[in-house]
Amino acid sequence: MTDFWLISVPLDKTSLTSVEKLKRTIAKTNLASSCCRFSIPDLKVRIVIKKTCQCMKEVLESSDKVLENALANGVDLMNFMIKFQWDKAKYPTSLTLSSLAEIINKEVSQVEAELKSRSAAYNSVKASLQNLEHKLDGNLQTCSLNDVVRKEDLVVSEYLTTLLVVVARGSYSQWERSYESFSKFVVPRSSRKLYENGEGGVFSVTLFKRAVCEFKAKAQESKFFVRDYSFDLEEQKQREIMQLSFHKKEQYGIFVRWLKVNFSEVFVAWIHLKALRVFVESVLRYGLPVNYQALLLQTDRKHSKKLKEELASLFVHLDPTASITDVSCDIPGLCQQEYFSYICFHISTNVLDIS
């Protein structure tokens, strides 16, 4: 897995010599696949640091499509990092650090607010469709009977109606013996088995409309379930499914396009925030006037320990008391948990790790 380490060292003679040694060591040992300057403009000194990493995870729709959709300014995240240039049009360097951080924070907050609204709308349509589909694909009490019941199976007249009753497989005999006794207005020998599966069967029964309530009550007492069924009702359910399916497909396309655009916006803002933090930490550590160099190291995690040791050895003169401990951290994408003689931030371009 590829990681980036964004480090900063002062531009004194010893550190510059160490930087050149670092480049030669990397070339010989492959501790990192690249080492390049990371462009950070001169900024006014004022500390305001905002963390926006959590938003990165929220704008991803699914892990399967992350790599193809998670781009920054139209390029993959690694290329964006390597070729990073400060966007002076969007984040003018004439502003104070607090103003720049406020611009970034406002931009991300707007994305988060719209994401919440769009997610709620899309999930509502999705949940409604899933609920309706689940009912129609469920047990005999709710499943669709469009392919089972024919118009000639139902008697519908001024006085008569046909009910559909769900009968458990082991209760067929009980049903045949008892259904006529549920009301004196049941048409004798009118019951027909229309459909069955492993659960049981759906039986029709014809009776006078005036006896429907009485029949339902007696059927329930005998643990038979009377389904509310009509062709109009079934057609209405099918229309609802078609409408919800179309609406979901439409919303999905709009939502995914929005996610692509705004993931890019938030990632770009996040990297600018990283650059701000390097600047601030460099000024705090190395003092004024501003005189430091930022480097972007691209490495694999298996080389992390050796690269860290090499950096500690080369820049030990900056602070001999600095810690030499593991660079792993609890917050992926933000790694300044340990104190080093140089300034170092870990940036993962694997968006599935950003949380």
Tell me the pLDDT tens digit for each residue of 214-240.
999 999 999 999 988 776 777 777 788
Q: State how far the Cα of 167 lies from the Cα of 149, in Å rounded to an integer.
A: 16
What CATH fold (topology level) applies to the domain 2-128+246-318+336-348?
A: subunit c (vma5p) of the yeast v-atpase, domain 2 (1.20.1460)
| Chain region(s) in the chain for CATH 1.20.1460.10 | 2-128+246-318+336-348
| Chain region(s) in the chain for CATH 3.30.70.100 | 160-228
- Contact status, residue 112 vs residue 104, Cβ threshold 8 Å: no
State the burial class of residue 7 (Cβ atoms within 10 Å of its Cβ: 0-12, 13-18, 19+): buried
CA distances for 19 relative to 7, 8, 85, 147, angstroms? 11, 10, 21, 75
- The correct answer on CATH 1.10.760.10 for the domain covering 160-228 is no
State the alpha helices, DSSP H only, in 137-223.
Answer: 172-178, 212-221
- Contact status, residue 237 vs residue 136, Cβ threshold 8 Å: yes
This prediction has a pTM of 0.63
Q: Has residue 352 got a pLDDT over 70?
A: no
- Residues 135-161 have pLDDT tens digits of 766 677 777 777 677 877 888 889 999
